[in-house]
Amino acid sequence: MVVHVLRIGHRLVRDDRATTHVCLVARAFGVEKIYIFNGEPKVKETISKVNQRWGGNFEVNIIDNWKRILSEWKKREGIIVHLTMYGLNLNEVMDEIHKSSGDVLVIIGSKKVPVELYKESDFNIAIGNQPHSEVAALAVFLDRLFKGEEFKREFNHAKYKVVSSKKGKHLEKLI
Amino acid sequence: MVVHVLRIGHRLVRDDRATTHVCLVARAFGVEKIYIFNGEPKVKETISKVNQRWGGNFEVNIIDNWKRILSEWKKREGIIVHLTMYGLNLNEVMDEIHKSSGDVLVIIGSKKVPVELYKESDFNIAIGNQPHSEVAALAVFLDRLFKGEEFKREFNHAKYKVVSSKKGKHLEKLI
């Protein structure tokens, strides 16, 4: 299963940090690629440095046409999931998500999202019905999707690797 | 079980949005109170508006002495959990966390965290060993702690309530 993320509604400057967090979460939780609508190239550079140090091939794509991504995904075998506080409860739909085959496109917005997205998505899922954070919503959804397996993933050609420990910080230099 | 969050390492301006996201996640995921070391009063106002609209009694406390919070919690029945990419894998420690009784203090840092915290915490837990986001780490930890029950919680004296729906946005006005 390949998972991509589409980030919509990024507001310049104001959302820079949140979008960086979204990218870091996507990368750390096993997503292969993120599309950022109207994002800033700076985010791409930040994540590229993280890849160099911590490994993996996570890809950041700044796009100016999110409808194209959506229509490409419509043709693909898989599902389109839109995370929104107005959607169906996560606890009630995860079984159905796990039963569906193919790849997954996860769409996350910011404050305002075009109504079209609610209609075009196969699932509108609420990570709770309270306002919180797209960073958190993405993380919880991916954790449920991969059932905790995302934390066992190895990142190839990493320069550093953390060695889990009870107390303190252990970092292994690989290259 | 009462859960409080202690947010350390907030860097002024740079971390404002992330800290707001942390507060929103804490509130939405069933935490009762957050302590923000060196935080800005603006965050408190933002969250107070969210409480007014969406209900609940979530409390934001700006503090200037995190060691006092820690020593108060040391005397209390419960555990202190520090979320860090250097800690033990979440998948391996959650059983033990669920077996422990009493309240939970969850500590989340930013870039740099005093070494003392690693020693004073009962558990140093990694939400994966890759760098990502304290917002995401907190959300995933709370989701595992409450086992999805956090999304069933009702918020008292709310003005608005979301009605989950398959497509579209449904908001109920309560007052």
From the list B84, B119, B136, which residue is nearest A25 (CB)?
B136
pLDDT score for B9: 80
Residue A11's pLDDT band (boundaries 50, 70, 90)?
A: confident
Report pTM.
0.97
Asked if the model's pLDDT at residue A13 lies above 70, the reply is no
Give the model's pLDDT for residue A154.
Answer: 94
Chain A partners within 8 Å of B166 (Cβ): 87-88, 124
Task: Using the predicted structure, report yes or no on whether residue A131 has a pLDDT greater than 80.
Answer: yes
The pLDDT value given to residue A113: 87
Q: How does pLDDT run across B92-151, given as a tens digit for each residue?
A: 999 999 999 899 999 998 777 888 999 999 999 999 999 999 999 999 999 999 999 999
Of the ranges A165-174, B50-59, B135-144, which one carries the lowest mean pLDDT score? A165-174
- What is the Cα Rg of chain A in Å? 16
Q: Does B161 touch chain A (CB under 8 A)?
A: yes
Report helix, strand or coil for B160: strand
- The shortest CB-CB distance from B131 to any of A24, A137, A143 is to A24
The count of structural domains within chain B is 1
DSSP chain A: --EEEEE--PPTTTTHHHHHHHHHHHHHTT--EEEEET--HHHHHHHHHHHHHH----EEEEES-HHHHHHHHHHSSEEEEEEEEEEEEHHHHHHHHHHS-SEEEEEE--S---HHHHHH-SEEEES-SS---HHHHHHHHHHHHHTTGGGG---TT-SEEE---SSS--EEE--
Query: What pLDDT is attached to residue B13?
Result: 66
Q: Is B91 in the A-facing interface, judged by CB distances under 8 Å?
A: yes
pLDDT band at B84 (very low <50, low <70, confident <90, very high): very high
A142 pLDDT above the threshold of 90: yes
Q: Average the pLDDT over B164-175 and give the result.
A: 93
Looking at the predicted structure, is the pLDDT value of residue B17 above 90?
no
Does B54 contact A130 at a Cβ distance shorter than 8 Å?
A: yes
Q: Quick check: A26 and A146 in contact, CB under 8 A?
A: no
Which of B130, B138, B167 has the CB atom closest to A54's CB atom?
B130
Which tens digits make up the pLDDT trace of B150-165?
999 999 999 999 999 9
ipTM at complex level = 0.97
At B58-79, the pLDDT tens digits run: 999 999 999 999 999 999 999 9
**Burial class of residue B33 in the structure, from the number of CB atoms within 10 Å of its CB (0-12 exposed, 13-18 middle, 19+ buried):** middle
Which residues of chain B neighbour A84 with C-beta distances below 8 Å? 169
Using an 8 Å CB-CB cutoff, list chain B residues near A168: 86, 115, 118-119
Q: What one-letter code names the amino acid at B95?
A: D
Domain holding A27, by residue range, is: 3-173
CATH of the domain at B63: 3.40.1280.10
Q: Which of A11-25, A129-143, B36-50 has the lowest mean pLDDT?
A: A11-25
A164 vs B88: CB contact, 8 Å cut-off?
Answer: yes
Residue A175 pLDDT grade (very low, low, confident, very high; cuts 50, 70, 90): confident
Say if CB B159 and CB B55 are below 8 A apart.
yes
A-facing residues of B in 115-154 (CB < 8 A) are 115, 118-119, 124, 126-133, 135-140, 143-144, 148, 150-152
